[in-house]
Structure 1
Amino acid sequence: RTLMPQSEVEPDNAECHPHRGSGVWRWRSCLRSPTRCLKRAKSCICHMCGAHLNRLHSCLYCVFFGCFTKKHIHEHAKSKRHNLAIDLLYGGIYCFVCQDYIYDKDMEQIAKEEQRKAWKMQGLRGLINLGNTCFMNCIVQALTHTPLLRDFFLSDRHKCEMQSDSCLVCEMSQLFQEFYSGHRSPHIPFRLLHLVWTHARHLAGYEQQDAHEFLIAALDVLHRHCKGDDNSKMTNNPNHCNCIIDQIFTGGLQSDVTCQVCHGVSTTIDPFCDISLDLPGSSMPFWPLSPGGDGNVVNGESHLSGSTTLTDCLRRFTRPEHLGSSAKIKCGGCHSYQESTKQLTMKKLPIVACFHLKRFEHSAKLRRKITTYVSFPLELDMTPFMASSKESRMNGQYQQPLDTLNNDNKYSLFAVVNHQGTLESGHYTSFIRQHRDQWFKCDDAVITKATIKDVLDSEGYLLFYHKQFLEYE
């Protein structure tokens, strides 16, 4: 193809349509969306040396001419990442990625690849730190990459009964639109910060805050502001709501208190939106790791000598605990106060399971951060910690259940929040999963590619897992 003569160049206010014109203008408009071209080339000379020879090439992404012989067009392609240019003498299109000329039949495939790459980057957007607001930014990144929450907000299903400038759900809807708009510049979440200060006053101010505390506060406010939606109508149970927040994040925790005299069991089920796990090194006595055998293979975690895994923390969380003589309860069978044991198990699992590793210890005598490394898997099976699997555990020791094909309790990791630094001075970052196997590190306004090893080697503060299989009514 050849460049259009100067007399045929469309005026500055002409619309660049993908099926109008010919030559470089047609190719440029095919590779970009059919929007108005604000600039037109006044002359065909190299923008670096001013020459009109040396195999002049034109960039197909912007108005730029450069010498191919002197590699001025190469420098432009490298600095701007504009990987296609057209030879103005012979009309061939050159790809700087494969370093070769391509034919017309390849252009459709190239355009599809460019579109596919742009689609994969959807939702990746940095957030400006407004002054010690990294605790908010990392949680926002995790929430915006929660699949069902993303689908809800992008489908405009929220029906607000509040003033839009005071509704956190409306602001989150706008935030999702910003994240998936295709814009790459960092977003400034000043409205979100203002609403958080308004509805969770304990988080107001520019002091350092806890990311876990912000997550709990944000989910609570979102839950309260979702009451106008059709699917949030209260059921016969006043403690249960069917809003999108509860559907995704709320599970049921079963507590069994067993009398040590008559062995009667008192059972209660309470809602939970996260599970806080004690770590070795805290002032709380930690359940010693089993010396070998079953503990080394649960959930496929690497269990080095002396190391701690997420499964260890969950086994400790669900083990029977003797309450002691100082915490006697009144037994319904004995009709008197007796010693008892208490055991927690999962009655109902949420779609998104959030595990909070208790790294910050606050007591009357001690305030510190626990830096114990805890390994966590990419895929997690919660079957051993279900109430239905209680009979397969004896004295806190896990035994492999007979039913290993139950997929309802299997999860995949999709976000990790980390804390670097000390209790007094620290910084929050997050890893998020994009399209199954791609991971990115979000550090406020900066987003960089990450490897699975980077994710699994991180210290871990909040771990977000999503169910692999969902049931629909």
Structure 2
Amino acid sequence: MVYTKIFTGCSSTMTHYNESIGISNSFGSTHHRKCLMSVEGNTLCIHWAQLSRSFLESSKFRKIVESNTSRCAGCNITSSLWLCLKEECFYIGCEQTHAQRHFSEAQHPVCMQLKEPLIWCHICERELEADTVEYPEKETDDTPPAPQTVRSFISPSKEYGGIHPGLCGLQNLGNTCYMNSALQALSNSQPLSRLFLENSFNSLRPSGPHRKLTPPEPLLSESYSNLVRLLWTSTLRSVPPAEFLRAVTKINPFFRGYQQQDSQELLRFALDRMHEELSVTVETTEGRESKSVIRDIFGGQLLSTVKCLQCEKVSYKEDSFYDISVSIPSDAMLERLQKDIPEISLNQTGFFSTITGFLGLTRRTLELRDCLHAFCAREYLYGSNQYNCEHCKAKTDGEKMFKILKLPEILCIHVKRFRYDSYFSSKLSDHVRFPLRNLSMETFCCSEQERKGFEAFREEEIRKETAKKAEKGGIEVDQSQVKIVREDPRSSGFTYDLIALINHTGGLGGGHYVSYCKGEEEWNLYDDSRVSSASESQVENTEGYILFYRRQFTQARSDEVDKTQDFMTSQSGSVDRSYYVPRIWWTKFRTMNYPGPIDNTPFTCPHGSIKPQVKMGKGGVTQQMMKVPPKIWDYLRTTYGGGPEIQSLSQCMDCDREMMEQETQRRKDRKAVSEDRSYLLPKEYWHLISTLWVEKWRTFINGSNERPGEIDNLVLLERDGETPREGLKSERDYIGVTPDIWKYLQSTYGGGPEIVRKRLSIYSHKKDKGLE
């Protein structure tokens, strides 16, 4: 074999390769292995190189690749077939199960996909483009023949090559079509992909209190970031989502193995997990809230209302969602709904059709809006399902219903096609017609009256909670300041266009998932590693399992973005004074109807400069912020709010000095506590301190920039400032420290009052104070 031209950069590799044909098992050097794998555009695989090329001349091989009747040797199906390229083997297995099983049992690593020139190595876990995989030349005196390729045996495909951004397939790694379809739908959700493509992964994790992950757990969001960049930059026809799959299975054992899983469960898990990894906790008028770019795009809010039919009081419950799961209503339910909603379409069916439809033997035709109306329909709580009314203090008849309180930028609608009952389960194959454009969600959202009723309900709840905390802390709060301010969904619009869908074909116990995604001008079908064009009629005739709708980008918003970018281009380099906005917010401004207020708080200190702890340079704030002219800043801040303004990326000297002082204080505190003898001398007494203050102090000495403030023991006492509150417990509500520690802490931080006891109980007899 002639490989000299390939390995000229590493003579040792050439030597080792020539000496060991069994290189995949005995070749130990990581350096030489990388050298072998990095040639010819990373298309050479040592397991492919070791194969005899005699199979290319075999009549059996030619017959297989030219045939349209090949079937899986294990399950007899005719789609997604792979051919083993081991000499004299030619095993044909399906992508979902038997091709992988053949490799596990026979240890034949290299296989080729029929009907598409794709070669895959199970050991290397990588794809080889068939048109770049040539025979090694023979060392003869004759002129070598023109290199043959596997592609030459396959008729031209109508599917895309890997030269168009985003039209890259995902290889099936063993029944992973459920995951591939969900990933392609997410990848074609422009607001999400643009955020990952235009911003570094670290910038998507702003500074703040993140969820703490155990060390072995990988970051699923980082694996997704790597994958989406690969999908939009790779020139290959398909890539293996191996890194993402490893992260999923390591975090959640439910997805391990080669069993078919539910695409909706994977999608919900992935969004929820990535939100946890990318979120920060912020304080709002309603308490603490977790925010992330995932929730900004996919996060909506449902409002559940229950009305007591006896006292007519209404209670509210708010729930966040990433998708809305709607059932396919029965004919009986449609008849009930039509009495109040004339637009409901009825199917003219008899008893027999109803039964066969339930068994999945016949198909009805319904509208997506029928499913949404059923989701938001009133449910009456009678009999054993009565409502426990807090106002009546008893179980009463009630009326329950759902409405959408906040619509997301991308609305995912999950059509519940799998029915699980006590005796048997089935899949509903009814055709649910869904609009490709102009889906109006206004009917299913809260009315202005319902919104105001809920806001009044929440404000009253917050007042009660605040009053309870104030009473416990012995302080007074101005209740008139409690006011909820929420974004009105009407300001962002109710109309959506379909951008992607996940489709499931087959039965309950298996089947196959694919996704249809809207490109700039046409629809594309993503079927694992194959990507091909699709017509609108193909999309409309699918069953539609998960639908991805994007809020319409109105003409006014489109003009706003164009004019803003044109003005910035015209002002480039000619403005003396500039302001800064986060690049993440700028991406949202260009891709979302409502980007939210400008948020510079992760970078700024109270003095209006950059925090000293914010990273500068490569990957830091200088790459995470972008300049805008003063006129653009004034317009954006007036229109969307937020701030504060940043005119310079210089770090704050005052904060830097304060941080040094805080670190000095932490060292002094640690030294004082570590030298404490932790026991009382004769005639000494315990000094009690509120655990609320102690926790603030501990947070401070562990690195927080917020000092604990004055010692506050008033939370332990009644309003007279002397009598202990009822129900207090040692360790939970207060701790005891020695006189030396109390003297140090009180002189350092101030506050009080002093509470002294001979025993570690705040309810010890008063004479125990004994300091007279």
User: What's the TM-score once normalised by structure 1's chain length?
Assistant: 0.66
Distance 1:124 1:165 in 2: 31
Residue matched to 2:318: 269
Counterpart check, 1:148 vs 2:233: no
Counterpart check, 1:321 vs 2:379: yes
Equivalent in 543, 548, 563 of residue 459 of structure 1? 543
Residue 240 of structure 1 and its aligned partner are, at CA, apart by 3.3
Distance 2:346 2:548 in 1: 21
Counterpart check, 1:423 vs 2:508: yes
Residue 363 of structure 1 and its aligned partner are, at CA, apart by 2.4
More helix by share: 2
Give the secondary-structure state (helix, strand or coil) at the position aligned to 1:464. Answer: strand
Cα deviation per residue 1:125-151 (whole Å; 9 max; x = unaligned)?
101000000000000001101111111
Counterpart check, 1:363 vs 2:417: no
Equivalent in 481, 490, 494 of residue 409 of structure 1? 494
Residue matched to 1:287: 334
How many residue pairs get aligned? The number is 339
Residue 208 of structure 1 and its aligned partner are, at CA, apart by 0.6
Map 1:343-422; keep pairs closer than 5 Å. Answer: 343-378=401-436, 379-388=438-447, 408-422=493-507
Cα deviation per residue 1:278-334 (whole Å; 9 max; x = unaligned)?
11459xx643363898416xxxxx998763111000011111110112122232332
Counterpart check, 1:214 vs 2:337: no
Counterpart check, 1:234 vs 2:286: no
Distance 1:451 1:164 in 2: 45
Residue 177 of structure 1 and its aligned partner are, at CA, apart by 1.1
Aligned partners of 1:253 and 1:272 also within 8 Å:
yes
Give the secondary-structure state (helix, strand or coil) at the position aligned to 1:138. Answer: helix
Map 1:239-254; keep pairs closer than 5 Å. Answer: 240-254=289-303
Report percent identity of matched pairs.
Answer: 32
Residue 204 of structure 1 and its aligned partner are, at CA, apart by 1.2
Counterpart check, 1:139 vs 2:224: no
Residue 468 of structure 1 and its aligned partner are, at CA, apart by 1.1
Amino acid at match of 2:253: R
Question: RMSD between aligned alpha carbons?
Answer: 3.2
Residue 153 of structure 1 and its aligned partner are, at CA, apart by 0.5
Q: 1:261 to 1:293 in 2, by over 3 A?
A: closer
Cα deviation per residue 1:242-277 (whole Å; 9 max; x = unaligned)?
101111111110011011112111111111111111
Amino acid at match of 2:236: R
Distance 1:340 1:141 in 2: 43
Residue 165 of structure 1 and its aligned partner are, at CA, apart by 8.5
Extract unaligned runs of 5+ from structure 2: 1-39, 41-151, 349-363, 451-489, 554-592, 598-772
Aligned partners of 1:252 and 1:347 also within 8 Å:
yes
Counterpart check, 1:338 vs 2:386: no
Distance 2:255 2:510 in 1: 17
Aligned partners of 1:199 and 1:221 also within 8 Å:
no
Aligned partners of 1:126 and 1:444 also within 8 Å:
yes
Q: 1:239 to 1:182 in 2, by over 3 A?
A: same
Of stretches 259-268 and 162-171 in structure 1, the one that deviates more from structure 2 is 162-171
Distance 2:163 2:491 in 1: 32
Give the secondary-structure state (helix, strand or coil) at the position aligned to 1:253. Answer: strand
Distance 1:421 1:119 in 2: 29
Counterpart check, 1:169 vs 2:225: no
Extract unaligned runs of 5+ from structure 1: 1-35, 37-75, 82-116, 297-301, 392-404
Distance 2:549 2:167 in 1: 19
Distance 2:493 2:381 in 1: 33
The structure whose RCO (Cα within 8 Å, separation 6+) is larger is 1
Aligned partners of 2:281 and 2:288 also within 8 Å:
no
More strand by share: 1
Cα deviation per residue 1:40-60 (whole Å; 9 max; x = unaligned)?
xxxxxxxxxxxxxxxxxxxxx
Q: 1:239 to 1:362 in 2, by over 3 A?
A: farther
Distance 2:161 2:216 in 1: 32
Q: 1:341 to 1:213 in 2, by over 3 A?
A: same
Distance 2:217 2:326 in 1: 37
Q: 1:406 to 1:250 in 2, by over 3 A?
A: closer
Distance 1:426 1:341 in 2: 39
Aligned partners of 2:381 and 2:400 also within 8 Å:
yes
Q: 1:152 to 1:358 in 2, by over 3 A?
A: same
Aligned partners of 2:303 and 2:319 also within 8 Å:
yes
Give the secondary-structure state (helix, strand or coil) at the position aligned to 2:170. Answer: coil
Cα deviation per residue 1:211-233 (whole Å; 9 max; x = unaligned)?
01101111111112113xxxx34
Give the secondary-structure state (helix, strand or coil) at the position aligned to 1:460. Answer: coil
Residue matched to 1:128: 171
Residue matched to 1:468: 552
Cα deviation per residue 1:99-150 (whole Å; 9 max; x = unaligned)?
xxxxxxxxxxxxxxxxxx9999311110100000000000000110111111
User: What's the TM-score once normalised by structure 2's chain length?
Assistant: 0.41
Residue 157 of structure 1 and its aligned partner are, at CA, apart by 3.9
Distance 1:407 1:225 in 2: 27
Aligned partners of 2:525 and 2:532 also within 8 Å:
yes
Q: 1:265 to 1:120 in 2, by over 3 A?
A: farther
Residue matched to 2:250: 198
Amino acid at match of 2:198: S
